[in-house]
Structure 1
Amino acid sequence: MRKKFELKTEDQIRKMRVAGLLTAKALENVRAAIVPGVTTLELDQIAEQTIRDGGGRPNFQLVPGYYHTICASINSEVVHGIPSNKTLQPGDLISIDCGAEVDGWNGDSAFSMVVPGGDAELAARRQLQSDVCEGSLWAGIAALAKAKRLNEVGVAIEDYIAERGSWGILEQYVGHGIGRSMHEDPAVFNYRVRDAGPKVEPGLCLAIEPMITSGKQNTSVAEDDWTVVTRDGGDGAHWEHSVAVHSKGIWVLTAPDGGVSGLARFGVTPISLD
């Protein structure tokens, strides 16, 4: 957690906002296409077309050995699921992770949702899990707005989740810094750690991304060497936003409204640099 990392200028943050909005647009288009019978490869193509049409590059394709625009993880697949010809079924819990690079700056964001239809009770349980995960993301972002040290974000995320049931929090996979590269230092934990973390100061840009399971947090990597699956078969949910700290406050770069609606219930108002 003590590795050096670049603090961004306000002009650089504005450039990251462009990449963040294109990432958000790609995810918006993917979300609109999620229906029973669609394949995750079709969703991948929608995201790639959106990013390229917007003048960007899919930054997941810049990761060595990965050739897609999104990660699409279904049910017991928590993160890093590879798009394929597998079709979505009613009631599936799917997580979509995506990123765009524009003019050398990166955005990274993810959401989970329940595919319409299927067993109502199962769908409700999965929706609750997604809601808890999303809420913990906003709790972490709200904590960042007032934090002195970075792991106050992880404390807020863990507390939010613990207060809302028995969920597993992935420990092997965490958030990260973001900027000229999609993955930069520092690490952003989703739970308490002994190290308080680096100082929170203007120019700090992060991808905050809680990942929770319906059972235990233990996972394995599938034979494809990418997909992270729960060992007990429990469902996984994943939410993520790229966030910038600047001289006037915070700005959620991958939220179209800058984070206004998500942060309202925490009494935090994000501030745009536009």
Structure 2
Amino acid sequence: MIHKTEAEVALMKESATLVSKTLTEVAKVLKPGMTTLQIDEICATFVKDHKAIASFYNYRGYPYSVCTSVNDVVVHGFPNNTPLKDGDIVSVDMGVILNGWHGDHAYTFILGEVSAEVLQLVRVTKESLYKGIEKAVANNRIGDIAYAIQEHTEKKYGYGVVRELVGHGLGKDLHEDPQVPNYGKRGNGPRMKENLVLAIEPMINMGTKDVYTEDDGWTVKTQDGKPSVHFEHDVCVKRDKALILSDYSIIEAAEKANPNLNTSYY
């Protein structure tokens, strides 16, 4: 596990914030009729204009700048030309390299009207992210984060917590140690020290935890076809309270100002 200096954490905050600013650009314009390829183009252009590099593009052969996962797609969805429609939920996951450091986080948007069950899934998944972040303090263990997320989603609401995909360390590399599962036992796993930077990212299914990967080798979908929600923050472990490097507040402000997006779960 690589622990960063204060100066390096400050640079990582710039990277994480650029991801947040890019997702804010999506929140401003997202609406039914748009395609996920258009989302990819918006993000790629914004990142390039800010003298950064899209982390995901060509990463292990991934052919796009962002992952756009709609409805029953859990993560790693390929942008495509299918128009989005009212009632879709869309996770946009992306990373940038700025000044040599990665930022990487995700946000799930709701287009128009959805069922109360979907609203609850989005709300609870977002809540679980912050439950996990609360445990990202020095001398706690990775299992404490994992347990907090699982407790809030699976044990309280009966949702499926994806096992095959996990959060991770972040830094000069997009994926560093340790892995950060969204399920587990308190007191288990590596002990966290100050200035460890993590990408914490609950991936929560309305139904079964079971998933499968499509023939493209990337797109992960729920086995039962029910929706999945994904939120992700970049977080620095500190002594008393975790420091969140990414910024949802600017995304949420744009989301609330966009009449095509549903924020009634707030």
* Match for residue 59 of structure 1 among 55, 58, 61: 55
1:47 alignment partner in structure 2: 43
Question: Which shifted more, 248-257 or 37-46?
Answer: 248-257
User: Is the deviation greater in 247-256 or in 90-99?
Assistant: 247-256
The aligned counterpart of 2:27 is 31
Q: Which residue of 1 aligns with 2:120?
A: 128
d(CA) in 1 for partners of 2:83 and 2:120? 23
Matched letter for residue 104 of structure 2: D
- List aligned pairs for 1:52-201, cutoff 5 A: 52-117=48-113, 120=114, 122=115, 124-145=116-137, 148-162=140-154, 164-193=156-185, 196-201=188-193
TM-score w.r.t. structure 1 length? 0.86
Post-superposition offset of 1:145: 3.1
Aligned with 1:38: secondary structure?
coil
Query: Counterpart of 1:97 in 2: which secondary structure?
Result: strand
Indicate conservation of the 8 Å contact 2:75/2:221, yes or no.
Answer: yes
Aligned mates of 2:239, 2:185 — CA distance in 1: 27
The within-5 A match list for 1:240-255 is 240-246=232-238, 249-255=241-247
- Whole-Å separation in 2 of the counterparts to 1:249 and 1:131: 23
Task: Determine if contact 1:188/1:208 at 8 Å carries over to the other structure.
Answer: yes
Sequence identity (%):
34
The code of the aligned residue for 1:211 comes to: M
User: Following the alignment from structure 2 to structure 1, what is the Cα–Cα distance between the partners of residues 139 and 149?
Assistant: 13
State whether residues 60 and 69 of structure 1, in contact with CA within 8 Å, keep that contact through their aligned partners in structure 2.
yes
What is the TM-score when the length of structure 2 is the normalising length?
0.89
Equivalents in 2 of 1:215, 1:257: separation in Å?
A: 29
Q: Which runs of 4+ in 1 moved over 2 A?
A: 246-250
From 176, 191, 196, the equivalent of 1:204 is: 196
In 2, Cα distance between the equivalents of 1:159 and 1:34? 32
Number of residue pairs aligned between Structure 1 and Structure 2: 250
